[in-house]
A = this chain, B = another copy of it.
Amino acid sequence: MVKAFVFDAYGTLFDVHSVKEECNKWFPEKGDAISTTWREKQLNYFFLRQLMERYEPFDQITRESLRYACKANGAQLTEKSEQALMEAYLNLGLFEEVEEVLSQLNDKRLVVFSNGSPGMIDPLVGRSDISGHIDEVLSADGVKQYKPVPGAYYYAQQELGLEKEDILFMSSNPWDITGASSYGFHTAWINRKGLQREEFDIQPEVEYDNLKGLLEWK
């Protein structure tokens, strides 16, 4: 019997590519390309910093990857547009089924656990339509380590005061769901993009197209 449902934020509950619109406002027709490079570099940069043991919070990484993405796409970032695009990251849209599914899991302990620094993840969740359903928001910044290192999942577990097997963790990100499975949580891969399974000896327990699959666990 699972005691807490723990959700990754970026790409799982919130669509990181909803910044496309704001990108398009500043850089017409480049929104798609900028948003894609932005996310790729964001992942690349926090992986790298974790490996090099040079932790910096996620907001700095998000800013540096935005700068890279704009240069890569020939877009001249100004102080004003940078601020607007960073602000857009605090107002990402929810995937369409999220609010409804979470409202049906009212009797569960619902937690967001993200690599996002508190200054990013707290306003994002707080301003969103699921704010009332979420019991706790945890940031890996609390331990200055990024998922998928074991220390990050350990931190979340300690904060929740639960055993590994009491926790069901959900993520759309292959590296995150693999990391959480490797650590020992129950895991459900929310495979929104219909990605191919990784060729690993570590696999998520179940796989769903979107969060609706979770209603089976009720």
Contacts and interface: CB of A to CB of B under 8 A. Distances in A.
A51 B149 contact: yes
A72 interface: yes
A198 interface: yes
A202 B51 contact: no
Nearest to A41: B199
A178 interface: yes
A200 B179 CA distance: 26
A67 B182 contact: no
A54 B182 contact: yes
A35 interface: no
A31 B44 CA distance: 26
B54 A51 contact: no
Contacts of A41: 199
A51 B148 contact: yes
B196 A52 contact: no
Interface string A109-149: 00000000000000000000000000000000000001011
